[in-house]
Chains A and B, each alone.
Chain A
Amino acid sequence: MCRFAAYLGEPVLIEDLLYGPDGALVRQVVDPELMSMLNLGGFGLAAWDPGSPDPRRPLTYRVPTLPNFDRNLRVLAGKVRAGALVAHVRGVLYDSREGVGSHNIHPFLFEGASFALAQNGDLYDFGRMRYDLLEHIDPQLAGLIEGTTDTEWVYALVLSQLEDPFLPIGPEEAARAVERTLEILRELRGRRGIATQSPVNLVLIDGTWMLATRYAYDYGWYPDDRSFFAGEREHDFTSLWYAAGGRFGRRDDGRFGMADGAATSAVIASEPLTKHTAGWLEAPEYSMLVFTPAEDGKLAVDTRELAS
């Protein structure tokens, strides 16, 4: 299991999301509030700076090391502002069979694709269904897969649902591609007889819109063994939270959060970035959140139910 945070709106110093708040993403590597595991599998970031050359192409940073000890990241985060961002700390089982390396770091962003994707979830028994996905993945995109994590395959699958995976798309097209992807995964799991709980909390962002799912297949069905997955029955549905308001940062009262006023900015995160959660809303289970800029400069937040 992993943690992610995504931001869209008025430019913020990256440091304010990654390090500043008392529940900031980097702190969630070793001290997540809503999960029991540490997130030791690496760190990744994609950040869009509207003032940079070629602003549709984000800054990316993906390393298999811990961000807590990364001085380069800390300095970078204190100097760069982003109008959109997705960052991810990867949770892996404490097991030597895990593939920990730069090829498995989220967010994934294929060369030429317009949006990045990260996940907080895991498809149980993915190894048994991995190659079944190939019948639904564009061969050109399949050739871009470098790693072994289910997320990169899901990313390729989402892109494969688009007419042209290398053209910019709007949030509605992205939402349809995600819904179709979830249907395909459900169908393939059924074909393989995989009926164990598998959370699929995705976040997609292209610098101008973002969407996220709070979703799971077969919620409440766990393996009867002593594995990590069996222990998941002590927890509720994998969490997803969001907040909307003015720019995220340190407020007048000294706390981090969204500035008062119109909703020009929004954060989606696996768990609130602040211990004080009054400004945060929990996404419903089996839902998709879509954040779209409106003409008045505000962000529209749409919550949709997903079929299960």
Chain B
Amino acid sequence: MSAVGPANGAQIALAEIPLFAGLAPGAVERLERFMARFEIASGERLFRQDDHSGRMHVIEHGRLEVQVELPAGHGQALAELGPGELLGETSLLGGGRRVATAVAREPTSGWVLDRAGFEMLRLDVSAGAVELMARITELAVARLRARYQMIAAVLGGDGDAPASTATREAAIPAAAGLATPDYLRGLLCFREFRDHEQIAAAIGEATPVEVPRGTVVVAADEVPAVLLVVVRGAVDVSVRRGGTAQRVRLAGPGRFVGHVGVLDRGPSPVVARTRERAVLIRLPGERVRDMLREPSAIARRFSAALAEDVARALQQANRPVARTLAFSATHTHSHNPVPTSL
């Protein structure tokens, strides 16, 4: 790949891309200062699975194929992306490694935002930057929803398995000692918060609740009213179809449950059930959505933690996809959807 300097004169095309369209006046020009151009030839690799990531690419011309590399040299094409589409935003949000390889199928060019530019945007509390960060998070949520739908399609069958409605939430207020300020500050989602007061401000009036093991805390096909913060214990998040289920995430302390549904106000494609007894904080969905677009320091920290967790959920959702693809590629693995009786 060759970077060819600042994106001079690119603002008109950038502004036409849905992610950037309608941003506050001057926002695209500011964004342009953080971005550079890239160009690659047909057949050239833009990045490889497992590379240390830190760049988001926006395609202006051309096509890129996204592939996942599998054991024993097998590979599988996952998607083909074209003009106006983005790739790599998840790695910027999550700070991890690339989860797939991108190869140009024809000469391709566009813009690239690196980690330094991304972090500058995160710190920027101007209306345009805050809106852009919210949109990137929502894009990642859309990808997560699509990934869950893909897994559901692989599982086949109709609708949700009966087990998901067997036990609905039966929460009681958690004992004060189970969610002390010191304990909360050690959780992944609050580690960037300055002090207890900031955490308390983010949580608002939500109080921790204790939930027995095996309780459904997010039901499939319903729009969740609250975003759950796992304080203690673990929540199993599964796609369930036709009597079988595939776990797409085990959310432990400091992780969120219900982003898909709360952030996009759509029906949940997953069932979430406490795998261990759990202490949860239930943040009202409206408050979460508001914080995503608030410029305050507390809202920015919370939104960054939420975005990072969405990226983590996407990485975890790739695990069953990889196993399924490996199974179909090598015929050596027993397919392992989880029985719904668990």
Contact = CB atoms under 8 A, between A and B. Distances in A.
Interface of A: 218-222, 224, 230-231, 233-234, 236-237, 243-246, 258-263, 275-282, 284-287, 298-305, 307-308
Contacts of B186: 230-231, 233-234
Contacts of B57: none
A213 to B, nearest CB: 14
Interface SS of A by simple majority: loop
Which 4 A/B pairs are nearest by Cβ-Cβ distance? A245-B72, A278-B69, A260-B73, A263-B332
Given A230-B186, A258-B71, A284 B319 contact: yes
B233 A220 contact: yes
B322 A281 contact: yes
Contacts of A259: 72
A222 B179 CA distance: 12
Interface in B72-109: 72-73, 97
B188 interface: yes
A237 B250 contact: yes
Contacts of B250: 219, 236-237, 285-286
Contact of B253 (A222, A258, A275, A280): A222
B278 interface: yes
Contact of A300 (B177, B252, B334): B334
Given A222-B232, A244-B326, 4 more contacts: A237-B252, A244-B333, A303-B323, A303-B336
Contacts of A258: 71-72
Contacts of A233: 186-188, 252-254
A305 B338 contact: yes
Nearest to A246: B72
A12 B220 CA distance: 48
Contact of B252 (A236, A276, A280): A236
Contacts of B187: 233
Nearest to A218: B276
B234 A245 contact: no
**Is the interface on chain B under 10, 10 to 19, 20 to 34, or 35 or more residues?**
35 or more
B180 A224 contact: yes
Output the residue of A243, A262, A278, A303 with the most chain B CB within 10 A. Answer: A278
B252 A279 contact: no
A279 B72 contact: yes
Contact of B71 (A231, A281, A284): A281
Output the residue of B230, B234, B275 with the most chain A CB within 10 A. Answer: B234
A278 B72 contact: no
Contacts of B188: 233-234
B50 interface: yes
Contacts of A224: 177, 180, 182-183
A281 B326 contact: yes
B234 A281 contact: no
Interface in B153-200: 177, 180, 182-183, 186-188, 191
24 contacts: A219-B252, A220-B233, A221-B233, A222-B253, A233-B186, A233-B254, A234-B254, A237-B252, A244-B333, A258-B71, A258-B72, A277-B97, A278-B49, A279-B70, A281-B323, A282-B319, A282-B322, A286-B250, A301-B333, A303-B323, A303-B336, A305-B338, A307-B342, A308-B275
Contact of B50 (A246, A277, A284): A277
B126 interface: no
